[in-house]
Amino acid sequence: YLGKKWGTPDVVGVYKASRRAIIQFQPEIISAEIKTNPSEPITAFGQAIAYRLFSSKVYLVEPTTMSKEDQDRIEALCVLFGIGLILFDLNTENPNFNIRVRAQRYNPDMFYVNDIADKLYSVRRDVFDRLF
């Protein structure tokens, strides 16, 4: 509902210190692009890369039904660009999530962080309040 192509991750979370924490830290936006169809892994990777503009960490989540060649190529790209990679089985009762690559932490562009936060505030204040 944020309306921009490649600007709306499937999952967005905010990692932040609790209000009771003695040592506070900057909140981190963590985004994930989740695909259940393995047919376009490079497009999914491109979407995940775009989320680095406003996210501290980004994950690409792909089904294990992706071809071995595509898995190897996507894994290498994720390592190279610091994107996390999670593979899962298309079994809703037991998806068996497997972290193949851990996401690297980056400093997002604060212009885009504020842009997405402002849009979220405008369209879903309840979600904004829960996240921030």
Asked whether residue 1 is domain-assigned, the answer is no
Dump pLDDT digits (tens) for 21-38: 999 999 999 999 999 998
Q: Does 2 reside within a domain?
A: no
| 8 Å CB contact between 85 and 59 | yes
Could you list the residue range(s) of the whole structural domain that residue 26 is in? Answer: 11-131
Instruction: Decide if 78 is inside a domain.
Output: yes
- Find the DSSP H helices in 11-124: 41-50, 68-81, 110-123
For the chain, the domain total comes to 1
pTM of the model: 0.89
In this structure, is residue 6 part of a structural domain?
no
pLDDT value for 19: 86
In a domain, 85, yes or no: yes
Whether 80 maps to a domain, the answer reads yes
Q: CA-based angle 6:28:37, to the nearest 5? A: 35
Per-residue confidence band for 116, with pLDDT thresholds at 50, 70 and 90 = confident
Name beta bridge partners: 69.
none
Identity of the amino acid at 41: P
5 or 66: which leads in pLDDT: 66
Q: Is the pLDDT of residue 1 over 70?
A: no
